[in-house]
Amino acid sequence: MTAILFQLENIHFSRAHGAAERRAILKGVDLTLVPGERVGLEGENGAGKTSLLEVMMGFLSPDEGRITAFGQSFESGDDFYLLRTKAGYLFQSADDQLFCPTVAEDVAFGPLNLGKTHKEARLITASMLSAVGLEGFESRVTYHLSGGEKKLAALAAVLAMEPELLLLDEPTAGLDTSAIDRLEALLTRLPQAMLIISHDAEFLERVTSRRVKLAAGKLVSPQ
């Protein structure tokens, strides 16, 4: 029997909509991920795909439902600290993820927080930047990077944490064709389980093992 890495059961989530009203976004989402599988998440704009990933990371609290990951249940905000050391989240906008002056500082931030030495963090940083095609970018000023370069630097920062699960929100956004090809090659050889949001159906077809669609607040099989 295959072990379960991450599981959502009957997840409901609503957002404030106006002064005294809430709008239901997720209406009973069930999802199971097993180690090593790559799942594509499709859906129309506004369907709640990003909200789903933010619930999985504990950035948003569901109205009801159960989250189980890495062998334990997660309920309160404090519980999610452990989850975030095991699950890496690539934001849709790299500007929401990069906050240090240089690329090297951004990539090394996570490993240093996990207790790595400065020497270890430098080696990890160089390895991850090489993996995403940004060799020699260590001293580059983050806000001077192009949109695509920022996206790849953010991905390097996520990978530097050595997560067991990757949650990627539109990873190809802002990338040119060569960068997308490089990203595709990288993702297909990584061992981590992944949940990838993308409007690029052909990209998902190439890099994922199965796809699901978020529609009317629930996950369904894509047509």
Q: Does 1 reside within a domain?
A: no
- Integer Cα distance of 34 and 144 in angstroms: 38
Q: What's this model's pTM, rounded to 2 decimal places?
A: 0.92
What pLDDT digit, counting tens, does each position of 145-166 carry?
988 899 999 999 999 999 999 9
What pLDDT digit, counting tens, does each position of 98-139 carry?
999 999 999 999 999 989 999 999 999 999 999 999 999 999
User: pLDDT value at position 172?
Assistant: 92
Question: CA separation (Å) from 92 to 74, 177, 191?
Answer: 24, 18, 22
- Integer Cα distance of 90 and 112 in angstroms: 19
Is the predicted pLDDT of residue 196 greater than 90, yes or no? yes
What pLDDT digit, counting tens, does each position of 199-209 carry?
999 999 999 99
Q: Does 30 reside within a domain?
A: yes
Where does the pLDDT of residue 1 fall: very low under 50, low under 70, confident under 90, or very high at 90 and above? low
In 3D, which of 176, 179, 180, 209 has the Cα closest to residue 194?
209
Domain of 146: which CATH number?
Answer: 3.40.50.300
Where does the pLDDT of residue 173 fall: very low under 50, low under 70, confident under 90, or very high at 90 and above? confident
Instruction: Calculate what percentage of the chain has a pLDDT beyond 70.
Output: 96
Mean pLDDT in residue range 22-45: 94
Residues of the domain holding 114: 6-220
- Integer Cα distance of 216 and 70 in angstroms: 28
Number of structural domains the chain divides into: 1
- Integer Cα distance of 7 and 180 in angstroms: 29
Is the predicted pLDDT of residue 83 greater than 60, yes or no? yes
**Other CB atoms within 10 A of residue 35 CB:** 14
Lowest mean pLDDT among 27-36, 156-165, 168-177: 168-177
Q: Does 10 reside within a domain?
A: yes
Question: CA separation (Å) from 103 to 24, 182, 187?
Answer: 38, 19, 21
Classify residue 23 by burial, with Cβ atoms within 10 Å: 0-12, 13-18, 19+: exposed
Q: Does 158 reside within a domain?
A: yes
Task: Name the strand (E) or helix (H) holding 109.
Answer: helix 103-113
Q: Does 196 reside within a domain?
A: yes
- Integer Cα distance of 111 and 118 in angstroms: 9
Q: Does 87 reside within a domain?
A: yes
Residue 9: phi and psi, rounded to 5, are -130, 115
- Integer Cα distance of 189 and 136 in angstroms: 23
- Residue entry with tokens 């956004």: 173
